[in-house]
């Protein structure tokens, strides 16, 4: 899930847009038999093709059984300079009640086969 915690637009002469996004990320082990030991979960948020920000999630490590699911939380603070070119579109999208964001989540870890840890990365 995604929650917009803060949104502020400063008027001229120093226009700026401040956004704080709270993300709830679902981490799922697609494996049928093997547990996944993950050591990093991160998310990157883009708007209209421009990267707004990224963050590491908490908890950032753990173990999931086969077909297991857990959740991790991340907070992304958007640098106002990253949306200045799209500020009109951003305000229009917010006024319309829909914000077309792309969120890419990356999970890095390993699965253990016998005594070997095999590195894996899910995007």
* pLDDT tens per residue across span 22-52: 899 988 888 889 999 999 999 998 888 888 8
∠ Cα 79 73 97 (to 5°): 60
Question: How does residue 5 score in pLDDT terms, banded at 50, 70 and 90?
Answer: low
Rounded to the nearest integer, the mean pLDDT of the chain is 82
**Burial track 7-38 (b if 16+ CB lie within 10 A, e otherwise):** eeeeeeeeeebebebebebebebeeeebebbb
Which residue in 46, 41, 70 sits closest to 56, CA to CA? 41
| The CATH number, out of the four listed (3.40.50, 1.10.1760, 3.40.1800, 2.60.40), of the domain defined by the range 2-122 | 2.60.40
pLDDT above 70 coverage of the chain, percent: 80
Q: pLDDT digits over 54-90, tens only?
A: 999 998 889 999 999 999 999 888 766 666 677 788 7
Q: What is the pLDDT of residue 68?
A: 94
């Amino acid at each position: 899930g995604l929650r917009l915690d803060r949104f502020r637009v400063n008027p001229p002469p120093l226009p700026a847009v401040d956004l704080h996004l709270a993300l709830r990320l679902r981490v799922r082990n697609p494996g049928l038999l093997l547990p996944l030991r993950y050591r990093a979960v991160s998310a990157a948020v883009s708007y209209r093709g421009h990267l707004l920000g990224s963050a590491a999630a908490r908890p950032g490590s753990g173990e999931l059984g086969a077909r297991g699911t857990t959740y991790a939380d991340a907070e992304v603070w958007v640098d106002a300079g990253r949306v200045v070119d799209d500020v009109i579109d951003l305000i229009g999208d917010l006024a319309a009640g829909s914000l077309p964001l792309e969120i890419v989540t990356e999970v890095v870890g390993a699965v253990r086969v016998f005594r070997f840890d095999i590195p894996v990365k899910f995007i």
